[in-house]
Every structure is written in C-alpha cells, then in structure tokens.
Amino acid sequence: MSQVEVRQLVKEYKRRKNSQKLGQALRSMFAPDYEVLRAVDSVDFSIEEGEAVGYVGPNGSGKSTTIKMLCGILKPTQGSVKINGLDPFKDRVRNSKGIGAVFGNRSLLWWDVPVIESYRLFQKLYDIPEKRFQENLEKFTEIMGLAPLLSIPERQLSLGQKMRCNIAAAFLHDPKIVFLDEPTIGLDAESKAGIREFIRRMNVEEKTTFIVTSHDFQDIESLCQRIVLINHGKVILDDQMQKVKLDFNRKKQIQFEVDVNPWCEKETFAMEGVQVFGMTNHSLSFEYDADTADSMGIIEAVAKRCEIQDITISGRDIESIIREILKAQDVKDFS
Ligand SMILES: Nc1ncnc2c1ncn2[C@@H]1O[C@H](COP(=O)(O)OP(=O)(O)OP(=O)(O)O)[C@@H](O)[C@H]1O
C-alpha cells in the first residue's frame, strides 16, 4: 500500500447564488437559492514514502481543498483518502500524529507566548520524548537560525521569522508526511532559500514525504521530483519533473558529469538526432531534437560506458511548460 492513496476524490461546496436583480435578491433572502460547485473532481493519485510532490494549478483549481481533505480538515463528498492506511477524516487524531501541515496564511503558534513555549505545548500534545524534542530543536535551530527567535512571542516576529518558526513546529513530532501550502509566500529571496534548504534536508535525511503547493515555481522546481497539475478540480498531469521537462522541450540540451569520459579522446559519440556540443575528460554535452532522438536512449548510452555523477537538462523551465499546458486548456487567470 502507498503512503498516500487518493481514489476518485470529490469535494463539492454548496454556495448561495447571488442575484443582481432586486426582486430575485429579495426572494432569495427568504428562500435561498443554492448552486453546487465541484472544487475537486474525481482526483486519483498515490504517493510513496520519501517522495516530494508539487501539487500545482491556477487560482481556484482545488489545491487547498484537496490538501484539507488529505489533512482531515474537510470531509470528502465522494471517494476516499488513505494516509498511512488511515482515513484522515475519521481517524483525525491518530492521523495527525503522523502528519505535519503548514498553511502559509495560517499560524500553528500561539500568538502571544514565546515560540519555545508553543514548541513545549506541541511536545505535550504529541507526546514527544524529551531527548527527541531536544535533538529536533537543536537541528532545526541550526539549519534555520532559530536561536534568537525562540524567546520572542510570535506576534513580534517578521513574516519570514514566523514562517521559519512555523515550519520547525510542524516537524517537531517527526511526521512521516508534511503538507506545505504556499510555504514561502511573501518572503524575501534569502528566507525562501533557507526554508527550501530545510525542506530538502528533511526529505533527503529523514525521508519525509512532502506535498507542496506553491505559485512560486522555484519552490516546486527546487523541492519536488514529481509534479501533479490540477485544473478545474481535475488532475491533468502527474509525472516526474524531469520527464515533464524532457517531454515538453523539443530542442533540448543535456549535460553529463561523469567519472571518465570514454568519448573524449579517440571515439565519436554517434546517435541519430543527437549533436555533440562539448566534451571534456569529465563532461559531455549534447543538443538533440526530441522528435527524432530518444532522450532516455542518450542517458542509457552514456551510462553504459561511464559512471554518471550528475545530469543537467536545460530547456524551458517548468513554469513556462505548465503555462503552455494550461494555455492549451484556455486558462487565462494563472498567477
Ligand atoms: N469554503 C468554501 N465554500 C465554498 N466554495 C469554496 C470554499 N473553499 C473554496 N471554495 C471554492 O472552491 C474552488 C477551489 O478552491 P481552492 O481554495 O481549493 O483552490 P486553490 O487551488 O487552492 O486556489 P488558490 O491557488 O487561489 O489558493 C474555488 O472556486 C473556491 O472559490
């Protein structure tokens, strides 16, 4: 079983219709007229332990609604969600022990007590053993520079400081999965970089699974290996980030760093549709046309002859690819 399993998930909101016409508006005060909005429409996906998934889409496409159902805050209209085998809505308390959540516009901390006191309350709430609490606090303090902030009440912190303290709070109980909704919204470049570094380290070192929603594609590109694109409540793309980039770039460049480049001195690298751009003892770079050359074929050919240490694929960034996909669907309000 996958760590996160979402099957045919639907959320409908019942909304009161507002009429522009006076007569209808008066009538609807006594007999309100409702319309049903399907915010999440038959969404399916599974997420394995340790994955970092970017859940992206235009404003109002249903991202927050999905995340709220995954956290157990909202009850699905139809379909099912399983997090670590639990139904997050029915097993809300047990589920909350295994997950962390940060909503960029809402704080986890108590407004007028020093941050460390909020952390102590979380320790009690989640039964975090003192040793583990201290280890985590030390690690998070070091990575995100929290030391000077711990004695200050949240209301006296800047936006960036608040976000760092909130993110640390969400990790104190060693959650297996963390939901991050706009984790860097409104922050300056340095604060964003610090938060991304922390999230990346938790993903690599602790194998924490992440589901990140953000309109900042640098968040998505720097944190996520996989991207799920939602539009009008439906998933319209779910794939590995590198694969999306490969598939949507026709003329692409691919660079390899290798232990020893066997083609450097004597041989020629020959493959249909592939042009050699540069070679050194430890690197190779090619340009190829996606219509005629198979990108995975190049990687396989290189991997057969030497040890690949790094691969860089350049072309358009993920934001412009996503815009193109959405434009094809005639979406104009992407922000
Ligand atoms: N409590 C609610 N009652 C009625 N409609 C709602 C409610 N919450 C959200 N909606 C509607 O559901 C749709 C999806 O909203 P949601 O907040 O999930 O989108 P989102 O993708 O997170 O958007 P954004 O990027 O702007 O945060 C929108 O049309 C929104 O107006």
Q: Which domain holds residue 98?
A: 4-240
Regarding whether 186 and 49 lie in a shared domain, the answer is: yes
Distance 89 CA to ligand 1 centre (A): 19
Q: Is 322 inside any structural domain? A: no
For residue 324, what is the DSSP state?
Answer: H
Report the pLDDT value the prediction gives residue 335, as an integer from 0 to 100: 46
Domain of 266: which CATH number?
3.30.70.250
Q: Is 325 inside any structural domain? A: no
Q: Is 321 inside any structural domain? A: no
Regarding whether 291 and 229 lie in a shared domain, the answer is: no
Report the pLDDT value the prediction gives residue 318, as an integer from 0 to 100: 85
Regarding whether 130 and 79 lie in a shared domain, the answer is: yes
Indicate the residue among 210, 240, 270 that finishes a domain: 240
Q: ipTM for the complex?
A: 0.98
Residue 317 has φ and ψ, to the nearest 5°, of -80, 170
Regarding whether 185 and 39 lie in a shared domain, the answer is: yes
Indicate the residue among 189, 210, 240 that finishes a domain: 240
Distance 220 CA to ligand 1 centre (A): 20
3-state secondary structure 184-196: CCCCCHHHHHHHH
d(CA 131, CA 29): 58
126's tokens = 């989640």
Distance 64 CA to ligand 1 centre (A): 7
Regarding whether 263 and 225 lie in a shared domain, the answer is: no
Tens of pLDDT, residue by residue, the chain (335 residues) = 899 999 999 999 998 776 667 777 667 666 667 889 999 999 999 999 999 999 999 999 999 999 999 999 999 999 999 999 999 999 998 999 999 999 877 888 998 999 999 999 999 999 999 999 999 999 999 999 999 999 999 999 998 999 999 999 999 999 999 999 998 988 888 889 989 999 999 999 999 999 999 988 889 998 999 999 999 999 999 999 988 887 777 778 899 999 999 998 767 888 888 989 889 999 999 988 877 887 789 999 999 999 999 999 877 778 888 888 888 876 454 44
Regarding whether 204 and 259 lie in a shared domain, the answer is: no
State the alpha helices, DSSP H only, in 31-151.
63-71, 92-98, 115-126, 130-144
Report the pLDDT value the prediction gives residue 29, as an integer from 0 to 100: 67
Regarding whether 262 and 221 lie in a shared domain, the answer is: no
State the alpha helices, DSSP H only, in the chain.
22-30, 63-71, 92-98, 115-126, 130-144, 159-171, 189-205, 217-223, 241-248, 295-305, 318-328
Q: Is 139 inside any structural domain? A: yes
d(CA 15, CA 38): 11
Please report the atom of ligand 1 found closest to the CA of residue 65: 18
Please report the atom of ligand 1 found closest to the CA of residue 14: 4
Distance 95 CA to ligand 1 centre (A): 24
Regarding whether 140 and 286 lie in a shared domain, the answer is: no
Please report the atom of ligand 1 found closest to the CA of residue 215: 25
What residues does ligand 1 touch, defined as CB less than 6 Å away? Answer: 13, 15, 37, 39, 57, 59-65
d(CA 193, CA 189): 6
d(CA 335, CA 328): 16
What is the number of helices (H) and of strands (E) in the chain? 11, 13
Would you list the DSSP string of 10-43? EEEEEEEPPPSSHHHHHHHHHS--EEEEEEEEEE
Regarding whether 290 and 171 lie in a shared domain, the answer is: no
Domain count, the chain: 2
Regarding whether 100 and 167 lie in a shared domain, the answer is: yes
Regarding whether 301 and 170 lie in a shared domain, the answer is: no
Regarding whether 142 and 266 lie in a shared domain, the answer is: no
Q: Is 296 inside any structural domain? A: yes
Distance 36 CA to ligand 1 centre (A): 13
Q: Is 182 inside any structural domain? A: yes
Buried b (16+ CB within 10 A) or exposed e, 184-209: bbebeeebbebbbebbeebbeebebb
Please report the atom of ligand 1 found closest to the CA of residue 61: 21
